[in-house]
A and B are shown apart, each in its own frame.
Chain A
Amino acid sequence: MNILLVDDEEELVSTLAERLGFRGLEAQWATSAEQAMKKIENHHFNVAVLDVKMPRISGLELMDMIRQKHPDMKFIFLTGHGSQADFQQGCSCGACFYLIKPVRIDDLVKKINEAMGQPPACPKN
Chain B
Amino acid sequence: MNEIRWKTLGPEGLRFFGKVCADLSHEIKNSLATINEQNGLLDDFLTMAEQGAPLDPVRIHKITRAVAGHVERANKVVNKLNRFAHSVDHSRRQVELDVLVRQACELYERPAAIKGVVLTPESLQQGINIRTNPFLLQQLLLICFEHASARPSPDSTMSVVVERTPGHALISMTGSGPDASPVLDELLDELEAGITGDADGTWFRIRIPLKVDAEHVSA
B35 contact set on A, CB distance < 8 A: 102
Counting chain B CB atoms within 10 Å of each CB, which of A9, A11, A16, A80 scores highest?
A11
Interchain CA distance A54-B176 in the complex, whole Å: 25
Interchain CA distance A92-B61 in the complex, whole Å: 43
Contact across chains for B41 and A18 when beta carbons are under 8 A apart: yes
> Is B36 an interface position by the 8 A CB rule?
yes
Residues of B bordering A, CB below 8 Å: 22, 25-26, 29-30, 32-38, 40-41, 44, 48, 66, 70, 113-116
Nearest CB of chain A from residue B26's CB, rounded to whole Å: 4
- 6 new A-B contacts, CB < 8 A, other than A56-B116, A102-B37, are A9-B33, A11-B34, A15-B38, A16-B37, A80-B25, A101-B32
A56 contact set on B, CB distance < 8 A: 114-116
Which single member of A12, A18, A22, A53 contacts B33 (CB below 8 Å)? A12
Kindly list the 10 A-B residue pairs having the minimum CB-CB distance in the complex, ordered from nearest: A102-B36, A80-B29, A101-B33, A56-B116, A15-B37, A102-B33, A80-B26, A12-B34, A11-B34, A55-B116
Which single member of B41, B70, B114 contacts A54 (CB below 8 Å)? B114
CB contacts under 8 Å to B, within A56-108, are 56, 80-81, 101-103, 105
Contact across chains for A103 and B41 when beta carbons are under 8 A apart: no
Nearest CB of chain B from residue A86's CB, rounded to whole Å: 12
Nearest CB of chain A from residue B172's CB, rounded to whole Å: 25
Contact across chains for A81 and B22 when beta carbons are under 8 A apart: yes
A44 contact set on B, CB distance < 8 A: none
Nearest CB of chain A from residue B53's CB, rounded to whole Å: 11
Q: A9-B30, A53-B26, A81-B25 are in contact. Are A19 and B116 (CB under 8 A)?
A: no
Listed by A's residue number, 10 A-B pairs whose Cβ atoms lie within 8 Å are A11-B70, A12-B33, A15-B34, A15-B37, A18-B41, A53-B26, A55-B113, A56-B114, A80-B25, A103-B36
Report the nearest B residue to A23, measured CB to CB.
B44
Which single member of A11, A18, A101 contacts B29 (CB below 8 Å)? A101
Interchain CA distance A16-B44 in the complex, whole Å: 12
Q: Mark A14-39, 1 if CB is under 8 A from B, else 0.
A: 01101100100000000000000000
Nearest CB of chain B from residue A3's CB, rounded to whole Å: 15
Interchain CA distance A105-B128 in the complex, whole Å: 51
